Protein backbone atom coordinates (compact mmCIF):
# COMPACT_ATOMS: atom_id res chain seq x y z
CA UNK A 1 0.00 0.00 0.00
CA UNK A 2 1.17 3.51 -0.84
CA UNK A 3 -0.35 5.59 1.96
CA UNK A 4 0.43 8.86 3.69
CA UNK A 5 -0.65 10.15 7.07
CA UNK A 6 -2.46 13.07 5.42
CA UNK A 7 -4.85 10.54 3.82
CA UNK A 8 -5.79 9.23 7.27
CA UNK A 9 -6.75 12.68 8.55
CA UNK A 10 -9.11 13.57 5.72
CA UNK A 11 -12.04 14.01 6.27
CA UNK A 12 -12.25 15.22 9.83
CA UNK A 13 -14.58 13.58 12.37
CA UNK A 14 -18.12 14.90 12.54
CA UNK A 15 -18.08 15.08 16.36
CA UNK A 16 -15.36 16.07 18.84
CA UNK A 17 -14.74 15.79 22.56
CA UNK A 18 -13.63 19.32 23.52
CA UNK A 19 -12.86 22.51 21.59
CA UNK A 20 -9.13 21.89 21.42
CA UNK A 21 -9.48 18.49 19.72
CA UNK A 22 -9.98 19.80 16.14
CA UNK A 23 -6.91 22.03 16.58
CA UNK A 24 -4.84 19.06 17.70
CA UNK A 25 -6.20 17.07 14.74
CA UNK A 26 -4.82 19.69 12.33
CA UNK A 27 -1.47 19.86 14.13
CA UNK A 28 -1.14 16.08 14.12
CA UNK A 29 -1.84 15.97 10.40
CA UNK A 30 0.85 18.56 9.66
CA UNK A 31 3.33 16.95 12.09
CA UNK A 32 2.92 13.39 10.76
CA UNK A 33 2.50 14.16 7.04
CA UNK A 34 6.25 14.37 6.49
CA UNK A 35 6.95 11.09 8.28
CA UNK A 36 7.06 7.59 6.86
CA UNK A 37 3.95 5.47 7.33
CA UNK A 38 4.58 2.25 9.35
CA UNK A 39 3.56 -1.13 7.95
CA UNK A 40 1.22 -2.22 10.74
CA UNK A 41 -1.92 -0.81 12.35
CA UNK A 42 -0.43 -1.17 15.85
CA UNK A 43 2.61 0.85 14.84
CA UNK A 44 0.38 3.55 13.35
CA UNK A 45 -1.58 3.84 16.61
CA UNK A 46 1.59 4.01 18.67
CA UNK A 47 3.10 6.66 16.40
CA UNK A 48 -0.03 8.84 16.67
CA UNK A 49 -0.09 8.52 20.46
CA UNK A 50 3.57 9.53 20.69
CA UNK A 51 2.91 12.49 18.40
CA UNK A 52 0.11 13.67 20.69
CA UNK A 53 2.52 13.59 23.63
CA UNK A 54 5.17 15.43 21.62
CA UNK A 55 2.76 18.19 20.56
CA UNK A 56 0.97 18.65 23.88
CA UNK A 57 3.46 17.44 26.50
CA UNK A 58 0.72 15.28 28.03
CA UNK A 59 1.39 11.53 28.44
CA UNK A 60 -1.28 8.85 28.11
CA UNK A 61 -1.56 8.36 31.86
CA UNK A 62 -5.32 8.27 32.40
CA UNK A 63 -5.79 12.06 32.48
CA UNK A 64 -9.27 12.79 31.16
CA UNK A 65 -8.64 16.31 29.86
CA UNK A 66 -6.00 19.02 29.88
CA UNK A 67 -5.44 22.46 28.41
CA UNK A 68 -2.95 23.41 25.68
CA UNK A 69 -1.78 26.95 26.39
CA UNK A 70 -1.26 27.95 22.75
CA UNK A 71 -4.85 27.11 21.75
CA UNK A 72 -7.62 29.77 21.83
CA UNK A 73 -9.66 29.77 25.03
CA UNK A 74 -13.07 30.88 23.71
CA UNK A 75 -16.00 28.83 24.94
CA UNK A 76 -16.46 26.65 27.99
CA UNK A 77 -13.88 24.06 26.86
CA UNK A 78 -11.67 26.38 24.82
CA UNK A 79 -8.11 25.09 24.54
CA UNK A 80 -8.90 21.79 26.24
CA UNK A 81 -8.10 18.32 24.87
CA UNK A 82 -10.26 15.30 25.66
CA UNK A 83 -8.09 12.22 26.08
CA UNK A 84 -11.25 10.12 26.12
CA UNK A 85 -12.01 11.35 22.59
CA UNK A 86 -8.52 10.42 21.37
CA UNK A 87 -8.38 7.01 23.03
CA UNK A 88 -11.92 5.91 22.13
CA UNK A 89 -12.59 7.79 18.86
CA UNK A 90 -9.70 9.75 17.34
CA UNK A 91 -6.88 7.19 17.30
CA UNK A 92 -9.20 4.19 16.57
CA UNK A 93 -10.66 6.14 13.62
CA UNK A 94 -7.22 6.88 12.17
CA UNK A 95 -6.10 3.27 12.64
CA UNK A 96 -9.28 1.95 11.00
CA UNK A 97 -8.65 4.22 8.02
CA UNK A 98 -5.14 2.80 7.75
CA UNK A 99 -6.62 -0.70 7.61
CA UNK A 100 -9.27 0.28 5.07
CA UNK A 101 -7.36 2.51 2.64
CA UNK A 102 -7.42 1.24 -0.91
CA UNK A 103 -4.20 -0.16 -2.38
CA UNK A 104 -2.54 2.06 -4.95
CA UNK A 105 -3.42 -0.54 -7.59
CA UNK A 106 -7.10 0.38 -7.16
CA UNK A 107 -6.22 4.01 -7.79
CA UNK A 108 -4.48 2.94 -11.00
CA UNK A 109 -7.61 1.03 -11.99
CA UNK A 110 -9.76 4.14 -11.44
CA UNK A 111 -7.38 6.32 -13.47
CA UNK A 112 -7.22 3.88 -16.37
CA UNK A 113 -10.97 3.30 -16.32
CA UNK A 114 -11.69 7.04 -16.57
CA UNK A 115 -8.99 7.46 -19.26
CA UNK A 116 -10.66 4.67 -21.25
CA UNK A 117 -14.00 6.45 -21.11
CA UNK A 118 -12.40 9.64 -22.40
CA UNK A 119 -10.83 7.63 -25.23
CA UNK A 120 -14.18 6.02 -26.09
CA UNK A 121 -15.68 9.54 -26.30
CA UNK A 122 -13.13 10.57 -28.93
CA UNK A 123 -10.60 12.36 -26.73
CA UNK A 124 -6.87 11.84 -27.22
CA UNK A 125 -5.33 10.80 -23.90
CA UNK A 126 -1.75 11.68 -22.90
CA UNK A 127 -0.09 10.15 -19.83
CA UNK A 128 2.87 11.99 -18.26
CA UNK A 129 6.31 10.38 -18.17
CA UNK A 130 6.50 11.53 -14.56
CA UNK A 131 3.63 12.14 -12.14
CA UNK A 132 3.77 15.88 -11.45
CA UNK A 133 0.17 16.49 -10.41
CA UNK A 134 -2.21 15.46 -13.18
CA UNK A 135 -3.01 11.83 -13.92
CA UNK A 136 -3.30 12.51 -17.65
CA UNK A 137 -4.25 15.22 -20.15
CA UNK A 138 -6.96 14.95 -22.81
CA UNK A 139 -7.46 16.88 -26.04
CA UNK A 140 -10.24 17.03 -28.60
CA UNK A 141 -11.11 19.15 -31.62
CA UNK A 142 -14.65 20.46 -31.09
CA UNK A 143 -16.02 22.58 -33.96
CA UNK A 144 -12.56 23.73 -34.95
CA UNK A 145 -11.43 24.55 -31.41
CA UNK A 146 -8.79 22.35 -29.77
CA UNK A 147 -9.81 21.71 -26.18
CA UNK A 148 -7.20 20.68 -23.60
CA UNK A 149 -8.19 19.39 -20.18
CA UNK A 150 -5.77 18.24 -17.46
CA UNK A 151 -7.42 15.46 -15.45
CA UNK A 152 -7.09 14.38 -11.84
CA UNK A 153 -8.89 11.21 -10.76
CA UNK A 154 -9.99 10.84 -7.14
CA UNK A 155 -11.56 7.44 -6.50
CA UNK A 156 -14.11 7.11 -3.68
CA UNK A 157 -14.15 3.70 -1.97
CA UNK A 158 -16.69 3.43 0.88
CA UNK A 159 -16.24 0.67 3.42
CA UNK A 160 -19.11 -1.62 4.34
CA UNK A 161 -19.28 0.04 7.78
CA UNK A 162 -19.69 3.58 6.42
CA UNK A 163 -23.10 4.91 7.36
CA UNK A 164 -25.60 6.48 4.96
CA UNK A 165 -24.95 10.09 3.99
CA UNK A 166 -27.05 12.73 2.25
CA UNK A 167 -23.90 14.25 0.79
CA UNK A 168 -20.89 12.11 -0.11
CA UNK A 169 -17.85 12.93 -2.18
CA UNK A 170 -14.28 14.20 -2.18
CA UNK A 171 -12.72 16.50 0.40
CA UNK A 172 -9.00 17.13 0.37
CA UNK A 173 -6.04 18.53 -1.51
CA UNK A 174 -5.53 18.53 -5.27
CA UNK A 175 -1.92 17.80 -6.21
CA UNK A 176 -2.10 20.35 -9.04
CA UNK A 177 -4.64 22.95 -10.13
CA UNK A 178 -5.54 24.39 -13.54
CA UNK A 179 -8.64 26.43 -14.51
CA UNK A 180 -9.48 24.02 -17.36
CA UNK A 181 -8.95 20.85 -15.34
CA UNK A 182 -11.39 17.99 -14.83
CA UNK A 183 -11.69 16.51 -11.36
CA UNK A 184 -13.04 13.03 -12.12
CA UNK A 185 -14.67 11.30 -9.14
CA UNK A 186 -15.36 7.57 -9.70
CA UNK A 187 -17.70 6.34 -6.95
CA UNK A 188 -17.34 2.63 -6.14
CA UNK A 189 -19.82 0.56 -4.14
CA UNK A 190 -18.74 -0.88 -0.80
CA UNK A 191 -19.48 -4.52 -1.74
CA UNK A 192 -18.16 -4.48 -5.31
CA UNK A 193 -14.40 -4.03 -5.07
CA UNK A 194 -12.66 -4.42 -8.40
CA UNK A 195 -15.78 -3.85 -10.49
CA UNK A 196 -16.69 -0.74 -12.46
CA UNK A 197 -17.64 2.36 -10.45
CA UNK A 198 -21.32 2.87 -9.68
CA UNK A 199 -21.11 6.37 -11.17
CA UNK A 200 -18.56 9.01 -12.13
CA UNK A 201 -18.71 12.78 -11.66
CA UNK A 202 -16.75 15.03 -14.04
CA UNK A 203 -16.35 18.27 -12.10
CA UNK A 204 -14.96 21.63 -13.26
CA UNK A 205 -12.63 23.29 -10.80
CA UNK A 206 -15.06 26.23 -10.63
CA UNK A 207 -17.69 23.93 -9.10
CA UNK A 208 -15.40 22.66 -6.34
CA UNK A 209 -15.83 24.52 -3.07
CA UNK A 210 -12.75 25.77 -1.21
CA UNK A 211 -12.19 24.55 2.35
CA UNK A 212 -11.20 26.94 5.13
CA UNK A 213 -8.16 24.79 5.93
CA UNK A 214 -7.10 24.45 2.30
CA UNK A 215 -8.01 22.11 -0.52
CA UNK A 216 -11.45 21.60 -1.99
CA UNK A 217 -14.63 19.66 -1.35
CA UNK A 218 -17.40 18.39 -3.59
CA UNK A 219 -20.23 15.97 -2.73
CA UNK A 220 -22.06 14.98 -5.93
CA UNK A 221 -23.54 11.79 -4.44
CA UNK A 222 -25.42 10.44 -1.48
CA UNK A 223 -24.53 7.11 0.09
CA UNK A 224 -27.31 4.57 0.69
CA UNK A 225 -26.47 1.11 1.98
CA UNK A 226 -22.89 1.42 0.75
CA UNK A 227 -24.04 2.36 -2.77
CA UNK A 228 -23.31 5.88 -4.12
CA UNK A 229 -26.24 7.55 -5.86
CA UNK A 230 -26.03 10.88 -7.75
CA UNK A 231 -27.69 13.85 -6.11
CA UNK A 232 -30.26 15.50 -8.45
CA UNK A 233 -28.47 18.87 -8.61
CA UNK A 234 -25.29 17.16 -9.88
CA UNK A 235 -26.85 15.07 -12.63
CA UNK A 236 -25.46 17.38 -15.40
CA UNK A 237 -21.95 16.36 -14.26
CA UNK A 238 -22.56 12.62 -13.94
CA UNK A 239 -21.60 9.72 -16.23
CA UNK A 240 -22.20 10.16 -19.98
CA UNK A 241 -24.00 13.47 -19.53
CA UNK A 242 -21.09 14.83 -17.53
CA UNK A 243 -18.47 13.48 -19.92
CA UNK A 244 -20.32 15.10 -22.82
CA UNK A 245 -20.48 18.41 -20.96
CA UNK A 246 -16.66 18.50 -20.78
CA UNK A 247 -16.72 19.29 -24.53
CA UNK A 248 -18.54 22.59 -23.95
CA UNK A 249 -16.00 25.43 -24.34
CA UNK A 250 -17.80 27.23 -21.47
CA UNK A 251 -17.66 24.14 -19.26
CA UNK A 252 -14.96 25.54 -16.95
CA UNK A 253 -16.58 28.96 -16.47
CA UNK A 254 -17.52 30.22 -13.02
CA UNK A 255 -21.17 29.41 -12.14
CA UNK A 256 -23.54 32.36 -12.43
Q: What percent of the chain has pLDDT over 90?
A: 46
Q: Give 109 or 177, the one with higher predicted confidence.
A: 177
Q: Are strands 182-187 and 145-153 parallel, antiparallel or unpaired?
A: parallel
* The predicted structure's pLDDT at residue 31: 92
pLDDT of residue 243: 97
Residue range 56-69, pLDDT digits in tens: 988 776 668 888 98
Collapsing DSSP to helix, strand or coil, 206 comes out as: helix
Q: Give the span between the Cα atoms of 198 and 191, in whole angstroms.
A: 11
pLDDT in tens, 126-166: 998 766 789 999 999 999 999 999 999 998 888 766 788 99
For 28-79, the pLDDT digits (tens) are 999 998 888 887 788 888 899 999 999 998 877 666 888 898 888 776 777 8
At 165 the three-state DSSP class reads strand
Q: What's the residue count for the chain?
A: 256
Stronger pLDDT, 256 or 92, i.e. the higher one = 92
Residues 126, 129, 131: CA angle, nearest 5 degrees: 95
Query: Which comes out higher in pLDDT, residue 188 or 130?
Result: 188
Name the pTM for this structure: 0.63
Per-residue model confidence (pLDDT) at position 102: 54
DSSP letter at 4 equals -
pLDDT digits (tens, 9 = 90+) for 204-255: 999 998 876 677 899 999 999 889 999 999 999 999 999 999 999 888 887 7
d(CA 226, CA 59): 38
pLDDT at 120: 94
pLDDT average, residue stretch 183-189: 94
Query: Domains (ranges, CATH) in the chain?
Result: 5-100 (no CATH), 104-245 (3.40.1350)
Beta carbons within 8 Å of 117's beta carbon, 6+ residues apart:
200, 243
Amino acid sequence: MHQTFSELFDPRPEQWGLRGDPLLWEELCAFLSSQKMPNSANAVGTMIARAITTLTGAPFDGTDQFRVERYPTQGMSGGYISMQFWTTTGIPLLVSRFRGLAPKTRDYFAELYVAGLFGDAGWAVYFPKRDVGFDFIVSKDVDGTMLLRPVQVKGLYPTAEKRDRDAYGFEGQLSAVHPEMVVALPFFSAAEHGLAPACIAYMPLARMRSRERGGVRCAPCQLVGGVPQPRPSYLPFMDQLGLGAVEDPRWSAEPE
